[in-house]
């Protein structure tokens, strides 16, 4: 089945040509012209990925992301313009998984979308369980439980946790994490990693200001405790 | 210069004061000296007249005897006068006897006058005591009598006067120096004020003014200085406002172009994927559209980047970076044929990798456009306190008079050449400045242009374990 993408973009030309480009790349694209309509579409139908402009009339992309995150772990990729006063960090903190700078080439956008979908769709065949602290990570079921209680993670957060726990005790640099989790082969934005780590800690650590499971190694990267 | 004027003014005043004091002191000394000597001499002469014409003849009588000489000597001695008596045709009688040789020291002219029956005198030192010798013959024809007056008191008084005048002159000179300096400072204060104000203006404080405290020449001059500063400030502020407006306009234009350009880029990428399906003319036109949209995109992105520098909202994100690796990565992406001259040892500095990539990338783009197809060399060198990344090409270089302008916006060394936005080097220079470094360009002796980035290495690496961190990074790759 083709991946279903919700494209929320207010500029008609960009919206139309992006829909055409994604359509010819094999995606099923639904479009919305502003944040409010975007949320309505998101609630009406299931999507595999949300492509979200930041500067939207009525309801901006940050707020749309926050609302989506209340009920869903669907991958959200932001479309941001260079020079926007609001930083992408705000979007990442709201729960977005990745971002693409405007202007973008369609092949570039498609590559980012595929990377996000690949992460979201990863299903291990073998039944495997990873443990860290009092967390149990069900790799196949893509779920995390603490003492039997479900810990809701977005797909990016889950992948990040899985990557760190699989290499527990080893320091993984931001570049390595960008490569393995986000699929950037050359110099992505290290803030993606920092913000995702911060969100992940707020969910899995007992005290996120004093992290015990995922530690920062100054100047080098992050590591999960063994 | 002001220091010189002050010194000259001080010296002139001190010279005049000291000259006046010296002339006055000398004149009064000479006057007092002459008066005192004259007075002493007058008294001694009057006394001598009496002694010679009345006292001596009375004691000596017609036929002086040794006893009468002794009586006369005793009479003089009683008045604390030393005396030498030379009887006619006899040996001199001295009182005290230590004056034995003194007779020879009396000038011959005096002896001759005395011999002729006149009264004569001489100022001279006798037995180490300043003295006045008055001589004459008793009764005009009798024995020669020389009376020796002790004038050391006179000499002491004159010595004291000299000392007093000297000390007075010295004190006056010191007072003159201090006063002259104060006067000079007072006179030159407005010049100092103006000098300080001019310095502040030169340092960028356009509001600096000179206080107008008087209506004299200095006051008028200060007022004119202030009028000049007013007009300077006005002009500069207007120029700055115009430049700000100009830059804001460019920023606004770039901002407004952003969305349509984003649409065009997306459209071009879709169009580009379907060019093969078009008939030839449409296909060629389509290719040109895609190409030109690409150029438009980079121009607008460069303008946006420069506008952000102007808005001064740029943050620098430092991390430990292996420069050799960064250069290899950028060269691989921008100019594969570039020859890299990297040191054997790793060069790790704390810097913002994105900005450094932009700089090196733009320098490589520039070299490629400047000298298409020619050999380009990227050279990395490091010293204790700085690293240098140079990009060398084999192009035509830049005329020396235009070399200083190549980091200006929209500057093209060769305006007829197309390609580039003319903003790449300006952007690189802005990034370099943000990293605390600078770019410099020179024509190479062997032909071609060399642009070098000089980055200071002042940032201590975190915890001093930079090498360990870099190794860890490398293993992770």
Within 8 A of A172 by CB-CB distance, chain B residues are: 476
Task: State the best of B256, B260, B263, B322 to mutate against chain A, taking most chain A CBs within 10 Å.
Answer: B263
**Residue B420 pLDDT:** 66
C-beta of residue B190 within 8 angstroms of C-beta of residue B221: yes
Question: What is the average pLDDT value for chain B, to the nearest integer?
Answer: 83
* Nearest-CA distance A190 → chain B (Å): 10
Which domains, and CATH codes, for chain A?
Answer: 4-121 (3.40.50.2300), 129-224 (1.10.10.10)
pTM, rounded to two decimals: 0.58
CA pair distance A151, A138, nearest whole angstrom: 11
Q: Could you tell me if A194 lies within 8 Å of chain B, comparing CB atoms?
A: no
Nearest CA in chain B to A104: B266
Confidence tier at A186 by pLDDT (50, 70, 90) = low
Question: Is B269's CB within 8 Å of A106's CB?
Answer: yes
Question: What is the average pLDDT value for chain A, to the nearest integer?
Answer: 84
**Residue A83 pLDDT:** 57
**Residue A16 pLDDT:** 93
Average pLDDT over residues B210-227: 83
Per-residue model confidence as pLDDT tens digits over B69-121: 888 888 888 887 888 888 887 788 887 777 777 888 888 888 888 888 888 99
A172-175: which pairs have CB atoms within 8 A and are 24 or more residues apart?
Answer: A172/A221, A172/A222, A172/A223, A172/B476, A173/A220, A173/A221, A173/B472, A173/B473, A173/B476, A174/A221, A174/A222, A175/B473, A175/B476, A175/B477
Confidence tier at B404 by pLDDT (50, 70, 90) = confident
**Residue B467 pLDDT:** 38
Name the interface residues of B facing A (CB cutoff 8 Å): 255, 258-267, 269-270, 273, 297, 301, 304-305, 307-308, 319-320, 329, 333, 353-354, 357, 462-463, 465-466, 469, 472-473, 476-477
**Residue B264 pLDDT:** 92
Q: Are strands B319-322 and B82-86 parallel, antiparallel or unpaired?
A: unpaired
Average pLDDT over residues B369-374: 80
* Report for A146-160, B28-42, B201-215: range of highest mean pLDDT: B28-42
pLDDT at B462 over 50: no
Per-residue model confidence as pLDDT tens digits over B276-321: 888 888 888 899 999 999 888 888 888 888 887 777 767 777 878 8
Q: Collect all residues with Cβ–Cβ distance below 8 Å to B234 and sequence separation of at least 6.
A: none
DSSP state letter for B107: -
Between A123-132, A144-153, B203-212, B233-242, the lowest mean confidence (pLDDT) is in A123-132
Question: Is B472's CB within 8 Å of A173's CB?
Answer: yes
Confidence tier at B449 by pLDDT (50, 70, 90) = confident
Question: Is B270's CB within 8 Å of A17's CB?
Answer: yes
Question: Is A13's CB within 8 Å of B267's CB?
Answer: yes
C-beta of residue A27 within 8 angstroms of C-beta of residue A69: no
Average pLDDT over residues B181-186: 84
Nearest CA in chain B to A12: B263
Contacting A residues, span 110-169, partner chain B, CB-CB under 8 Å: none
pLDDT at B48 over 80: yes
**Residue B331 pLDDT:** 86
pLDDT at A87 over 80: no
**Residue B341 pLDDT:** 86
Nearest CA in chain A to B254: A83
C-beta of residue B143 within 8 angstroms of C-beta of residue B64: yes
CA pair distance A118, A202, nearest whole angstrom: 25
Which domains, and CATH codes, for chain B?
Answer: 2-161 (3.30.450.20), 217-310 (1.10.287), 319-476 (3.30.565.10)
Within 8 A of B475 by CB-CB distance, chain A residues are: none
The DSSP code sequence of B108-164 is HHHHHHHHTT--EEEEEEETTEEEEEEEEEGGGTS-EEEEEEE-HHHHHHHHHHHHH
The SS3 of residue B181 is: helix
CB-nearest partner of B259 from A11, A24, A172: A11
Between A91-105, B89-103, B132-146, the lowest mean confidence (pLDDT) is in B89-103
Average pLDDT over residues A24-49: 91
| SS3 track for A161-179 | HHHHHHCCCCCECHHHHHH
CA pair distance B182, B475, nearest whole angstrom: 75
C-beta of residue A3 within 8 angstroms of C-beta of residue A49: yes
Q: What percent of chain A has pLDDT over 70?
A: 92
Number of H helices, E strands in chain A: 8, 11
CA pair distance B334, A6, nearest whole angstrom: 35
**Residue A77 pLDDT:** 92
CA pair distance A72, A98, nearest whole angstrom: 16
Which has more confidence, B25 or B62? B25
pLDDT at A127 over 60: no
Name the nearest CA neighbour of B400 among B443, B346, B363, B457: B443
Q: Could you tell me if A107 lies within 8 Å of chain B, comparing CB atoms?
A: yes
Question: Is A102's CB within 8 Å of B258's CB?
Answer: yes
Average pLDDT over residues B199-213: 83
Average pLDDT over residues A201-206: 86
Structure-token pair, residue A126: 């073998």
Question: Is A187's CB within 8 Å of B357's CB?
Answer: yes
**Residue A8 pLDDT:** 94
**Residue A19 pLDDT:** 93
Confidence tier at B414 by pLDDT (50, 70, 90) = low
**Residue B461 pLDDT:** 46
């Amino acid at each position: 089945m083709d991946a279903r993408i919700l494209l929320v973009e207010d500029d008609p030309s960009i919206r139309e040509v992006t829909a055409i480009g994604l359509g010819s790349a094999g995606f099923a694209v639904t479009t919305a012209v502003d944040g409010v309509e975007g949320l309505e579409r998101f609630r009406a139908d299931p999507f595999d990925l949300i492509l979200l402009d930041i500067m939207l009339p009525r309801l901006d992309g940050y707020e749309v992301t926050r609302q989506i995150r209340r009920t869903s772990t669907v991958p959200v990729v932001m479309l941001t313009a260079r020079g926007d006063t609001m930083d992408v960090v705000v979007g990442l903190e709201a729960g977005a998984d990745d971002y693409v700078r405007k202007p973008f080439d369609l092949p570039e956008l498609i590559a980012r979308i595929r990377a996000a979908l690949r992460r979201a769709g990863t299903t291990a065949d073998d039944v495997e369980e990873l443990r860290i602290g009092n967390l149990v990570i069900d790799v196949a079921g893509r779920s995390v439980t603490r003492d039997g209680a479900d810990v809701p993670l977005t797909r990016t957060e889950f992948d990040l946790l899985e990557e760190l726990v699989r290499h527990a005790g080893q320091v993984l640099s931001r570049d390595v994490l960008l490569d393995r989790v986000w699929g950037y082969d050359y110099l992505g934005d290290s803030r993606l990693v920092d913000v995702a780590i911060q969100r992940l800690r707020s969910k899995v650590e007992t005290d996120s200001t004093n992290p015990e499971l995922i530690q920062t190694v100054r100047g080098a990267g992050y590591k999960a405790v063994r | 210069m002001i220091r010189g004027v002050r010194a000259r003014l001080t010296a002139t005043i001190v010279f005049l004061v000291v000259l006046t004091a010296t002339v006055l002191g000398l004149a009064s000394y000479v006057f007092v000296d002459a008066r005192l000597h004259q007075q002493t001499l007058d008294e001694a002469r009057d006394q001598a007249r009496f002694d010679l014409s009345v006292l001596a003849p009375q004691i000596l009588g017609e036929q002086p005897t040794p006893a009468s000489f002794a009586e006369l000597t005793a009479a003089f001695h009683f008045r604390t006068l030393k005396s030498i008596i030379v009887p006619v045709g006899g040996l001199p009688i001295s009182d005290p006897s230590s004056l034995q040789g003194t007779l020879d020291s009396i000038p011959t002219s005096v002896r001759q006058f005395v011999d002729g029956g006149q009264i004569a005198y001489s100022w001279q030192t006798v037995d180490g005591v300043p003295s006045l010798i008055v001589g004459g013959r008793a009764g005009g024809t009798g024995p020669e009598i020389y009376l020796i007056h002790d004038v050391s008191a006179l000499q002491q008084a004159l010595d004291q006067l000299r000392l007093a005048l000297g000390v007075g002159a010295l004190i006056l000179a010191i007072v003159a120096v201090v006063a002259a300096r104060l006067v000079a400072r007072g006179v030159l204060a407005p010049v100092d004020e103006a000098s300080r104000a001019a310095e502040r203006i030169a340092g960028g404080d356009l509001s600096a003014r000179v206080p107008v405290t008087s209506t004299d020449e200095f006051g008028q001059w200060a007022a004119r200085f202030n009028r000049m500063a007013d007009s300077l400030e006005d002009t500069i502020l207007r120029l700055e406002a115009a430049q700000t407006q100009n830059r804001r306009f460019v920023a606004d234009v770039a901002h407004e172009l952003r969305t349509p350009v984003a649409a065009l880029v997306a459209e071009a990428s879709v169009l580009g994927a379907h060019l093969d399906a078009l008939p030839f003319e449409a296909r060629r036109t389509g290719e040109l559209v895609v190409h030109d949209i690409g150029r438009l995109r980079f121009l607008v992105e460069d303008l946006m980047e420069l506008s952000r520098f102007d808005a001064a909202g740029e943050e620098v994100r430092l991390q430990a970076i292996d420069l050799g690796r960064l250069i290899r990565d950028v060269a691989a992406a921008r100019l594969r044929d570039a020859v890299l001259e990297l040191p054997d040892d790793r060069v790790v500095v704390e810097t913002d990798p994105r900005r450094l990539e932009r700089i090196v990338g733009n320098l490589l783009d520039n070299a490629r456009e400047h000298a298409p197809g020619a050999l380009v060399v990227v050279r990395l060198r490091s010293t204790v306190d700085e690293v240098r990344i140079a990009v060398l090409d084999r192009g035509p270089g830049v005329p020396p008079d235009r070399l200083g302008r190549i980091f200006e916006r929209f500057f093209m060394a060769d305006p007829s050449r197309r390609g580039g936005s003319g903003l790449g080097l300006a952007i690189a220079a802005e990034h370099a400045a943000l990293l605390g470094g600078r770019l410099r360009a020179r024509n190479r002796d062997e032909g071609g242009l060399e642009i070098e980035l000089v980055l200071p290495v002042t940032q201590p690496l975190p915890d001093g374990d930079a090498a360990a961190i870099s190794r860890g990074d490398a293993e992770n790759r």
